[in-house]
Amino acid sequence: MKKILLAEDDENLGAILQDYLKDKGFEASLAVNGEEALKQFMRETFDLCILDVMMPLKDGYTLAREIRAQNKSIPIIFLTAKSMKEDAIEGFKIGADDYVTKPFSMEELLLRMQAILRRIEGITDAPKESNVFTIGNSSFDYLKQEVTVKGNVTKLTTKEAELLKLLCKHVNKVLDRNLALKVIWNDDSYFNSRSMDVYVTKLRKHLKPDDTLELVNVHGKGFKLLDTA
């Protein structure tokens, strides 16, 4: 049974979500503010976090940063009443896996959760495919979601790992932007394209210490991971 941390300050909505998730086979722990949610996260082990952005004592973004400091790969979905794309981009910069704007249907949230969990299970259940890559003077382990650059190990989020794997499979070749969007985000909408740019920037920062690697934009086409080692 997958264990979900649900942080939602609207106690009515939180209780409804908790009951719905339990009915769908999840174990859902409800916290009504950010501080309580962090305490639960530190005490227990969860498979996925659903965080309301606007919460008392500690907002969802602050909570997500503190969760990410402890666990780089646990999936995070943000819930928010805001509809501005800039807010969603901020969430993706922190390392969110998805973003749902209120009001939303329970079914929509469930489908997004299931899609994320399937991707994670796919990482674990795919041993036959090559999942360890040597790039430049660095290495990348897709199953562990870790990249090692100059001896320093960085834990990646699920989407960072999926994107880096695609880049490694196309090393020194152009990775088509639309292909990456459809493989990882399931569609090539403008919003998903913006969020992918955030993840490219984060990967570029992770790889920067290795001067034999360069992640470049190819105008009008996509991205290229250059390996000059």
pLDDT tens digits for range 86-105: 667 777 888 888 888 888 88
In whole angstroms, how large is the CA radius of gyration of the chain?
Answer: 18
Other beta carbons within 10 Å of 89: 16
- Region 25-45: what's the mean pLDDT? 94
Map residue 23 onto helix, strand or coil.
Answer: helix
Return d(Cα 132, Cα 130) in angstroms, integer: 6
Percent of the chain with pLDDT over 70: 93
CA angle 174, 139, 185 (to 5 degrees): 45
| CB contact set of 63 (below 8 Å; sequence gap of 6+) | 7, 34, 37, 38, 51, 55
pLDDT band at 126 (very low <50, low <70, confident <90, very high): very low
pLDDT band at 152 (very low <50, low <70, confident <90, very high): very high
Tokens of residue 194, six digits: 């913006």
Return d(Cα 70, Cα 66) in angstroms, integer: 7
**CB-CB contact of 120 with 97 (8 Å):** no
Return d(Cα 138, Cα 178) in angstroms, integer: 27
Other beta carbons within 10 Å of 131: 16
pLDDT value at residue 123: 54
Q: In what order do the strands lie in the sheet with 27-31?
A: 27-31, 3-7, 48-52, 76-80, 98-101
Residue 89, amino acid = I
pLDDT band at 81 (very low <50, low <70, confident <90, very high): confident
pLDDT value at residue 11: 87
Q: What is the DSSP string of 122-178?
A: HHHT-TTS--EEEETTEEEETTTTEEEETTEEEEPPHHHHHHHHHHHHTTTSEEEHH
* Residue located via tokens 């609207």: 10
Residue 134, amino acid = T
